[in-house]
Every structure is written in structure tokens, then in C-alpha cells.
């Protein structure tokens, strides 16, 4: 079988295909034929060597495929099942990953899923949503679950709430879909008028060009009649946090997910205190979160959006 590996110190020219034997599932493991992967910003960071990985690391944190064989003791899955990987294979449940669980990241600290076949513990997978293609299912591991954990698990939006999303990356698009499924109003930001129109087509109720409106947090509050938004899916980090804080209502929720606009900077902590905001740091989610998300996908009709978001799907080694 083929595996796509990264040679240290990293860089796009440092990818290499290697041939390996097809593994056999051990006790408690699945043997999965990988049919789809999704490319996330995290994969890019590892590939470029910004986050050093061991020489010869098998790439890709996300994968979806078909169970080919099961090891002794596995009862949850059977050959032929469609499955999707989990981002933290050892974070099974709970509000936060232990340090041990957080240290195990496929495609980063351990081998990932850019292989024709993968043998891994059954707990490193969940069932895929019914009727989804492998490529669709592969979008859930990182982008889908991050949005689910930040908005649904931690935020618990109600019908009539207002949700602010930033940009058109994979997490933001999933957050838009989850918010609309919950009956919320969505305000979306982007620097591109073309992308803003696409966001409208996907269900955004209001859009704001943040280049044309630098104080977009104040604008978002104006859209809500001065009340403020209930939830912000915060992708930028320190560079956008101040505007997110100003967009919120008293007692609002900010799901702090990314650092695309910087991880160091001035944050108006007094405004957090004054508005009694709840800020949650979101690091993808647990296996239980993913199972909850898949159950929801099976009933709400949501399908991932290809091409408009930061999710670039398909097997990277074909």
C-alpha cells in the first residue's frame, strides 16, 4: 500500500510516497480502507514545518473510509461500515482533553491517515453520517467537529439567538449551517463582497465587509438593535477578539477557536468583565461530541459545502 510521508524539516517539496505492507488489525482495532481526506490549516502548518513532526510522518489528520476487517473484541463496527476518524483518538468524552489525549494527534505527533489502509483502535473512529460520500464524511473530523463543539456543545444556541461567524473557512461554514439548523439568525463577515454574497446564498441573514467596516463588532450590535449577538465563532484570535467582544450582548458567548489574525495582542479584558461574557477555548472535540454531531447530521439534512470553504477534499495522494 502507499503512504504519503513528510521528510523533516518539512516543506511542500519534502513529501514522499512510500510502499508499506497492509497492516493487520490487532485486538480492539479496525482495518480501514481510506477513501477520502480533507485538508485543514493544521495540516498545512505541519507540512510546512512550522510545527515540527518526526521525519517520515504519515500526513493528514482527517480520513473517512470503509471497514475492511475488525480485530478481536470489536463489537461496535463490522466490515462494510463507513467510518470517519476522530481528531484526538484518546479523547473519548468529557469537557476537556487530558494532556495525554491532547498530545496524540494523527498527522502530527503520530502517523495520520494519508495511507491506502490504516489499522487503529476502534475508538479512533465513529460511524459516518448515513448516505454521505467518503469525501463529505472526511470534512467532519476537524472543521465540522470544531464548529459543533464551539457553537452547539458549548454555546447551545436557541431559536431566535444571533450567531456571528467570521469568514468562509470550513469551521465558519459549518457554524453557519449549525446555527441555521438551530433556528438562529446569522451575521457573517468577510473582506470579499463575492464571498459575502455566497454566504447569503448559504443562509446568512446579514453580512458585513470588515475591510469596509473596521468596527464590524459595533455594526453587528447595531444589526441586533443594540442588544448584541448571543454567540461569536471567533476564528481570528487576538487580532479580531476586541471586535467580537464589542459585538456581544451582556452574558454572551465567544467560542475561541483560531488564531489566524494573531495569537498575541491586546484584548480588552475589562469589557469581558463588564459584559459578563463567557469565553470558551475550543480544541476540536471528543469522540462523544462527534457521535452527537453525526446523529444530528442524520436527521437535519446538513451536507458539507465544497469549494467555498477552506475544506479542500479528496485523497491528497491520487
With CA atoms as reference, report the closest residue to 174 among 302, 88, 82, 63.
Answer: 302
253 within 8 A of 280, measured Cβ to Cβ: yes
pTM of the model: 0.93
CATH number of the structural domain 2-143+285-313: 3.90.180.10
Per-position b or e across 61-71, b if 16+ CB within 10 A of its CB? bbbbbbbbbbb
Superfamily of domain 155-281: NAD(P)-binding Rossmann-like Domain (3.40.50.720)
What pLDDT does residue 309 have? 38
Q: Residue 202's closest CA among 129, 312, 307, 282?
A: 307
The pLDDT, as a whole number, for residue 268 is 87
Quote the CA–CA distance of 114 and 164 in Å, as a whole number. Answer: 34
| Nearest in space to 137 (alpha carbons), one of 302, 318, 316, 307 | 302
Domain ranges within the chain, ordered by starting residue: 2-143+285-313, 155-281
pLDDT at 267: 82
Q: Which of 249, 96, 129, 229 is nearest to 175 (CA)?
A: 229
Q: How many CB atoms lie within 10 A of CB 72?
A: 9
Cβ burial of 96 (10 Å; 0-12, 13-18, 19+) is exposed
Q: What is the pLDDT along the chain (318 residues), one digit of tens a residue?
A: 999 999 999 999 999 999 999 999 999 999 999 999 998 989 999 999 998 999 999 999 999 999 999 999 999 999 999 999 999 999 999 999 999 999 999 999 999 999 999 999 999 999 999 999 999 999 999 999 999 999 999 999 999 999 999 999 999 999 999 999 999 999 999 999 999 999 999 999 999 999 999 999 999 999 999 999 999 999 988 889 999 999 999 999 999 997 665 566 678 888 999 999 999 999 999 999 999 999 999 999 899 997 643 333 333 322
Amino acid at each position: 500500500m502507499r503512504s504519503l510521508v513528510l521528510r523533516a524539516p518539512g516543506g511542500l517539496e519534502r513529501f514522499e510516497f512510500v510502499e508499506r505492507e497492509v497492516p493487520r488489525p490487532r485486538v480492539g482495532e479496525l482495518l480501514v480502507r481510506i477513501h477520502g481526506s480533507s485538508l485543514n490549516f493544521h495540516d498545512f502548518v505541519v507540512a510546512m514545518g512550522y510545527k515540527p513532526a518526526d521525519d517520515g510522518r504519515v500526513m493528514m489528520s482527517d480520513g473517512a473510509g470503509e471497514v475492511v476487517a475488525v480485530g478481536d473484541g470489536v463489537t461496535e463496527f463490522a466490515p462494510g461500515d463507513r467510518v470517519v476518524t476522530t481528531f484526538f483518538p484518546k479523547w473519548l468524552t468529557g469537557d476537556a482533553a487530558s494532556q495525554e489525549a491532547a498530545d496524540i494527534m494523527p498527522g502530527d505527533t503520530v502517523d495520520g491517515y494519508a495511507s491506502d489502509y490504516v489499522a487503529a483502535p476502534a475508538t479512533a473512529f465513529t460511524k459516518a453520517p448515513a448516505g454521505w460520500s467518503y469525501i463529505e464524511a472526511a470534512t467532519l473530523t476537524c472543521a465540522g467537529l470544531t464548529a459543533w463543539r464551539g457553537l452547539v456543545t458549548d454555546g447551545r444556541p436557541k431559536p431566535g439567538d444571533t450567531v456571528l461567524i467570521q469568514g468562509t473557512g470550513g469551521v465558519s461554514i459549518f457554524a453557519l449551517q449549525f446555527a441555521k439548523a438551530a433556528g438562529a439568525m446569522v451575521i457573517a463577515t468577510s473582506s470579499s463582497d463575492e464571498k459575502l454574497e455566497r454566504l447569503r446564498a448559504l443562509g446568512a441573514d446579514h453580512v458585513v465587509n470588515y475591510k469596509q467596516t473596521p468596527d464590524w463588532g459595533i455594526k453587528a450590535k447595531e444589526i441586533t438593535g443594540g442588544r448584541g449577538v448571543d454567540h461569536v465563532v471567533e476564528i481570528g484570535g487576538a487580532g479580531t477578539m476586541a471586535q467580537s467582544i464589542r459585538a456581544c450582548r451582556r452574558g454572551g458567548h465567544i467560542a475561541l477557536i483560531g488564531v489566524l489574525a494573531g495569537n498575541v495582542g491586546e484584548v480588552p479584558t475589562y469589557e469581558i468583565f463588564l459584559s459578563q461574557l463567557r469565553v470558551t477555548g475550543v480544541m476540536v472535540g471528543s469522540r462523544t461530541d462527534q457521535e452527537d454531531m453525526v446523529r444530528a447530521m442524520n436527521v437535519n439534512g446538513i451536507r458539507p459545502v465544497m469549494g467555498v470553504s477552506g475544506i479542500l477534499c479528496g485523497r491528497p495522494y491520487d
